[in-house]
Amino acid sequence: MRILAAGLASLLIAALPPGGTFVDDDGSVHEGSIEAIAAEDITRGCNPPVNDRFCPSDSVTRGQMAAFLVRALGLVPVSAGFVDLGGSPFQRDIGALAAAGITRGCNPPVNDRFCPDSPVTRAEMATFLARALELDAAVPPPRCPTLPADDIWNTLVSGLPVDARSETYVEAIGASATVHPDFGSGVWPPGSDSPIGIPYVEIDAATPPVPIHFTAYGDESDPGPYPVPAEAPIEGGAQASGDRHVIVVDRHHCRLYELFSAYPRPDGSWEAASGAVFDLDSSALRPDGWTSADAAGLPIFPGLVTYDEVASGRIDHALRFTAPRTADAHVWPARHHAGSGSITELPPMGQRFRLRSDFDTTGLAPHARVIAEAMKSYGIVLADNGSSWYLSGAPDPRWDNDVLRQLKAIRGSDFEAVDTSGLMVEPDSGTAAP
């Protein structure tokens, strides 16, 4: 059943004595509530610019609902990252709901659309209100972590010794080059369908597996089928020509599925240059010499920066980054390399770096500071060839791109390579020694 405008008014605020703001609510059982939310500026009417009518029998659209909730909750309107808002007058209200975590989109699992003109069902409104009132906080978290707590991705490196080749590696990547957060809100370039960052999708237990047709590295890929939804988000967007990573997280079965250069087929299957499946409960590494969806043969997802963890105030894992030139070698925990130079001159895949402890983060905005402090404590892992000091993260409409740009104050010379060899328990496991 759709929520009528009058019914929504009663949901938002208890009825108060009727007033006279609107000419079309006289006699309505909801008149007191309608006039009360008008007095609080939660509603302004249905016929701008006159706004002397409320249209109590009309259905509420998702865009209108956003405006009601933003005014009722006192949220600050901000820009939204959904691709279908166009000239919607509710764009900034929708952005406020997304920033507050009250809405995630209308087309799961991709959730890059809001459907502002669609009606709100009672079930959808229940979800919106539960999130707004934090009534869903008691829902138990997914049972699977992102790799075990003692995995090398989740291990502090702030106390490890500096690698003997640290200065050489920093110079090779770019001592004067600045950190670039390769993630954010919105799209790039403007007007494209390319969200900024590497997206991922979390699936439910009922998502069916589909065939995967490998086009390049099938002999080093884990065979399908993989439970990849037909509308799974692709890095760079559907028309991209770059890496086109697709990442699927199945916390019900504790599995992570990642594809490189992935393209959906009309029959629901996918083709990809390579693919890898990781057990989220295990630190087992891929066979040495095998690639994954990443050049280092490592999983991508554990190294992504996500908005929710930054908003929580802490990141408890290492971050993924790229460098333009790498050695024809890899070090633990990496399993593969794609470089063409000597390890004495260029960093190998899997090399860990950390932001130096004396770098002052107090001038950064809170979200930027969380990321910088994670680079001090957990460091960054060289995982692929690309631009200098490009940090990987997931796109999210809630990111403030201006805040993320503050990380560009960090230069390559602010990093040092660290020696993680003392943490290795065995070569084929990512488990780190205590």
In this predicted structure, what is the pLDDT of residue 110? 63
User: What does the pLDDT look like over 89-108, one tens digit per residue?
Assistant: 888 888 888 877 788 888 76
pTM score, whole prediction: 0.71
Distance CA(105)–CA(1), nearest Å, equals 20
Q: Amino acid identity of 415?
A: F
Residue 78 confidence (pLDDT):
73
pLDDT value at position 15?
36
Res 372: pLDDT: 98
Residue 319: strand pairing partners? 380
Q: Where are the domains of the chain?
A: 5-132, 152-423
Regions of the chain short of the pLDDT cut 50: 1-3, 13-19, 138, 141
- Helix H, strand E, coil C: the string for the chain is CECEHHHHHHHHCCCCCCCCCCCCCCCCCCHHHHHHHHHCCCCCCCCCCCCCCCCCCCECEHHHHHHHHHHHHCCCCCCCCCCCCCCCCCHHHHHHHHHCCCCCCCCCCCCCCCCCCCECEHHHHHHHHHHHCCCCCCCCCCCCCCCCCCEHHHCCCCCCCECCCHHHHHHHHCCCCECEEECCCCECCCCCCCECCCCCEECCCCCCCECEEECCCHHHCCCCCECCCCCCCCCCCCCCCCCCCEEEEECCCCEEEEEECCEECCCCCEEECEEEEEECCCCECCCCCCCCCCCCCCCCHHHCECHHHHHHCCCCCCEEEEECCCCCCECCCCCCCCCCCCCCCCCCECCEEEECCCCCCCCCCHHHHHHHHHHHHCCEEEEEECCCCEEEECCCCCCCHHHHHHHHHCEHHHEEEECCHHHECCCCECEECC
